[in-house]
Structure 1
Amino acid sequence: MIRKFRQEDEDAIIRVWLEASSVGHHFIPLAYWENLVKDVRDIYLPQNETYVYTDDTTGNIAGFLTLSEDYIAGIFVAPDYHGQGIGQALMAHAKKLRTKLELKVYLENTQAFSFYLRQGFKISREQTDEDTGHKEYVMVYQEALSV
């Protein structure tokens, strides 16, 4: 089930974010992500629109999506839940909310990059992330107009 973020979800979301970041961004030291926890808690979550995907059986948060206007600031799935369609469900939810979406993905995160291509995203440009020094793609999704 996908629902809006509630304050009591905060610790679970941060845990999912750290776990998923360490797997998907294995090329960036874990300490980098750990140093961002305070910013995620104090800035990222309060200032953005976040939706959580909960496991129907356990009630655990299995993943989440964060939007800042038309920008996907984050879509993360807990590693134990990979391959179960949760990322796809979160992306479908984002597409219901917005007709245009933009995101950034590290070139080295080939699994996420492939996922975004399958979801209809196109590369807009390539750039270097100032914080990590790693190359990333800016990708855009635009809903097709009905004729």
Structure 2
Amino acid sequence: MQIREGRPDDVPRALEIWRTAVDATHGFLTPQDRAEIDVMVAEDFLPNVELWLAVDAGDRPLGFLVMDGAMIDALFVDPAHHGRGIGTLLLDHALALAPGAIVDVSEQASNALPFYEARGFVRTGRSETDPQGRPYPLVHLRHSGTSAASKSSGQ
């Protein structure tokens, strides 16, 4: 597994990853909101951002990361490959780019908070709505500078 910069021809696979990951982890979205967000991600977001991809030995993307300065704007892994360290690999890349990285996670996505908190992120606040004003609370996190590995080794 390695991280590489994305290319325009990677956008369809990134969108596929996003869709399957959201469908697996964001069951709280209303069908209308899910459809509206899909259009926004497909037409406005993914084609216009710098993608970082976690790819397998055959160069097939299995997850992706989008950074906006110190903000982790998106980190999604194909659900068929959850639990294999791909998210951690992408997060380590994000922290190499922005050691004090921040991220907003959906409070209702049960996998997000434990993932980030186990890797040294601490809560800094909460919003009642998402950036579009939808009723999906967000938890704001910042990396503490302490990794889970250094915590477990006592460093």
Which category describes the TM-score, using the shorter chain as reference length?
0.7 to 0.9
1:1-147 matched pairs, under 5 angstroms: 1-56=2-57, 58-130=58-130, 131-143=133-145
SS at match of 2:111: helix
How far apart are the structure 1 equivalents of 2:52 and 2:73? Answer: 12
Provide the TM-score with structure 2 as the length reference.
0.83
SS at match of 1:64: strand
The CA RMSD measured in Å over matched residues stands at: 1.7
Tell which deviates more after alignment, 21-30 or 2-11: 21-30
Contact map agreement 2:15 2:46 (CA 8 A) in 1 = no
SS at match of 1:105: strand
Give CA deviations for 1:56-95 in whole Å, capped at 9, x if unaligned: 2x43211000001111111000110000000000000111
Distance 1:16 1:31, change over 3 A: farther
Distance 1:34 1:52, change over 3 A: farther
Contact map agreement 1:102 1:140 (CA 8 A) in 2 = yes
Contact map agreement 2:11 2:47 (CA 8 A) in 1 = no
> Size of the alignment, in residue pairs?
143
Please list every run of at least 4 consecutive aligned residues from structure 1 whose deviation after the TM superposition is greater than 3 angstroms: none
SS at match of 2:101: strand
Contact map agreement 1:18 1:33 (CA 8 A) in 2 = no
Shift of the alpha carbon at 1:16?
0.4
Provide the TM-score with structure 1 as the length reference.
0.88
Shift of the alpha carbon at 1:39?
2.6
Q: Percent identity?
A: 24
Higher strand share: 1
Unmatched 5+ residue regions in structure 2? Answer: 147-155
